[in-house]
Amino acid sequence: MRIHRLSQALINKIAAGEVIERPASVVKELMENAVDAGATRIHVAVTGGGGEMIRVVDNGCGIAPGELELALTAHATSKLQDADDLFRVGTLGFRGEALASIAEVSHLTLRSRTADDPEGAQIEANGGRLSDVSPCGTPVGTTIEVRNLFFNMPVRRKGLRAAATELGHVKETFTRIALALPQIDFTLAHNDRPVFELSGTDRWRDRIATFFGRELAENLIWVESSQDDVQLSGYVAHPSHSRADNRMQYLFLNCRYIRDRSLQHALREAYRGLLLSGRFPIAFLNLAMPPEAVDVNVHPTKIEVRFHDAGRHYGQLLSTLRTKFLSTDLHVRVRGESEDPTGTVDERHAAALREQLVGWAKGKTAQWDVDAADEGEPDVQRSFEVGGESERRLEMTRLDRAWAPAGAGHGGGRRPDRREDVAPWDAGESDEAARAVAPGQSPPVGSSPRAVQVHNRYLVTENEEGLVVFDQHALHERILYEQLRARVGASQLETQSLLVPEPVDLSAAEAAAVVEHRETLSRLGMSVEPFGGDTVLISGYPAMLANLPPGEVLRELLGPLMTAGHEVKPDELLDDLLHTIACKAAIKAGDRLAPEEITSLLDQRHLVDHAHHCPHGRPTALVFTREELDKRFRRT
Ligand code: ADP
Ligand code: MG
């Protein structure tokens, strides 16, 4: 076989194979060209899912009659001048091959007019063969009509799916571009019926709402941050809204839709502990950065890009979201179908109430501090009688520490010196909690109001906003988890040493996993050594799990250890283990709680981050707002 040059037609066809996969790819290229042409109105119409006909009409700058042929010629573009431009692409297109590719594999008509030309002109392409340019009447802007896509590529033509499927892809493409550019008017019609009609808006939330509904849009949280010359901005959904896959993660780079594994990972990390496993966050985020900070020329359809400093963007996304979540009320509110479809009134009202409440509570706390100082704190002694009692009891006494009972029967205890009797565990903040709800004081609404336990699993109480139902296990689990994490971080986790080390027989794989992750286990207060064969020896274990036999504790931890594998980062494993321990140590559904324990539990939730969700991402509390109750009881 001799080497010979490919014909331009064949080159175009090969390029078409890369860039034009299906009707949606044509829609993408044509819409992007319209955006690059500065259009403020872009109309897309398809028939037969796009396989029959795709038409994109824009009011952009248009193409001069003398350049129509060039526009359909491969490697002809108005968007790049020299090689340097390639490294600072500011337009959506730049390769100059899309129109030539599409023209090669369809019947294409291009009609266009610039503002400087008295009339427009038109050119046709039939499987790559170009007609002469002829004058035609057309408004300023460009109309491109593509019929019979892949008519001369039988394999591709056959590969097209049912019209409904292809239309689905067209809609997704349309959505990505229309989401990225809310100021532009867009319409999409299928078989002459309107699918989307979007008018330009300055409010991104409105554009999102037209695609995904008011209900989601009202549950979006605005985030933004700026690090040097990189601006991150957009919306992420409240954890009560999530998806079973990551397709609702709309990431944009300089208003170009992209997929990026690293950023998706950062997103998942940011929601760790706020979503159930198997659920994915919803996000609409744009990264704005100088074009030279990223290489968009790595993928034929440019859906993947290469950042020069991917690690930095990962960090920025993660920290921006985490910081935002810490300062956001993420409680789950129970709502029925709202009569007001926008729901904005309720939300704003609720937000205002919350703000008032927080301010009020802050102002009050100092005063209670003083009042509490003189009061006795009974039962404290009992709290520190270690041993004898079951650890569940110990666990409860830890809860006890934070309350100061308001009722009779507890009074009269000698007030011990605060410093000494404060367990290291409770040092600092929970000490404050003990003072916040002082005897004789009615607690602030929203801090520790009266609560009743129902079915030995839920705690029902009120706050300024309405009725709150807590899941006692989920809440306690989150509190313990956050406390544990803080202790592990400060290397202060108590180890309970065993007088007689306990041998535990494991399977070979389990023993290997335990030995491999010994370091991590020891950070949790779990001391293990190999003991020959598949037996390991436990010489110490986390004090807070003292109610469980050491062997059982180790077995509990095996789950995360075994799934961890060799690749795992110690911190991630540690986190999994903390979850396990918190879950084990927390009070269970079915545990009857004394009133003090309820109060204590509810108090402590103010001291930890993310108290609104358990570490597995289940909500710890549901809020039935008073408005919602009023509505349901037909009071409004
Ligand atoms: P690219 O977008 O990579 O430059 P294309 O093949 O998509 O390559 O388009 C070739 C050229 O045709 C563009 O550079 C632009 O000058 C012109 N063009 C294409 N579509 C439009 C449009 N809708 N409005 C104005 N000019 C257009
Ligand atoms: Mg283009």
- Calpha distance 307→260 (Å, rounded): 10
Encode burial over 610-628: b for 16+ CB neighbours within 10 A, e otherwise: bbbbbbbbbbbbbbbbbbb
Q: How far is CA 36 from the centre of its chain?
A: 30
> Going by CA atoms, what residue is nearest to atom 17 of ligand 1?
71
Contact between 449 and 406 under an 8 Å Cβ cutoff? The reply is: no
- Sorted by sequence, the CB contacts under 8 Å of residue 315 that are 6+ apart come out as 266
Minimal CA–CA distance to 288: which of 329, 255, 317?
255
pLDDT digits (tens, 9 = 90+) for 281-292: 999 999 999 998
Q: Which two tokens stand for residue 370?
A: 């003083």
Q: Ligand 1: does its nearest atom lie under 6 Å from the Cβ of 29?
A: yes
Q: Ligand 1: does its nearest atom lie under 6 Å from the Cβ of 286?
A: no
- Calpha distance 364→357 (Å, rounded): 11
Look at residue 224 and give its three-state secondary structure.
strand
The Å distance, Cα 463 to ligand 1 centre, comes to 59
What pLDDT does residue 568 have? 65
> Going by CA atoms, what residue is nearest to atom 16 of ligand 1?
78
Write the DSSP symbol of residue 442: P
Q: Quick one: which atom of ligand 1 is closest to the CA of 74? A: 6
What pLDDT does residue 232 have? 97
In the chain, which stretches have pLDDT less than 70? 335-449, 564-568
Contact between 50 and 170 under an 8 Å Cβ cutoff? The reply is: yes
What pLDDT does residue 565 have? 66
Q: Which two tokens stand for residue 523?
A: 């950070």
> Going by CA atoms, what residue is nearest to atom 14 of ligand 1?
77
The Å distance, Cα 168 to ligand 2 centre, comes to 22
The Å distance, Cα 35 to ligand 1 centre, comes to 10
The Å distance, Cα 184 to ligand 1 centre, comes to 18
Q: Ligand 1: does its nearest atom lie under 6 Å from the Cβ of 77?
A: yes
The Å distance, Cα 510 to ligand 2 centre, comes to 56
Look at residue 150 and give its three-state secondary structure.
coil
Q: Which amino acid is it at 378? A: P
Share above pLDDT 90 across residues of the chain, in percent, rounded to a whole number: 42
Q: Quick one: which atom of ligand 1 is closest to the CA of 61? A: 25
- Calpha distance 333→215 (Å, rounded): 12
What pLDDT does residue 449 have? 62
Q: Ligand 1: does its nearest atom lie under 6 Å from the Cβ of 143?
A: no
Q: Ligand 1: does its nearest atom lie under 6 Å from the Cβ of 95?
A: yes
Candidate of 55, 61, 77 to mutate for ligand 1, largest count of ligand atoms within 8 Å of Cβ: 77
- Sorted by sequence, the CB contacts under 8 Å of residue 27 that are 6+ apart come out as 44, 46, 50, 54, 56, 170, 173, 174
Nearest ligand to residue 142 Cα? 1
Write the DSSP symbol of residue 613: B
465-471-477 Cα angle (round to 5)? 115
Q: How far is CA 8 from the centre of its chain?
A: 46
- Calpha distance 583→579 (Å, rounded): 6
Nearest ligand to residue 125 Cα? 1
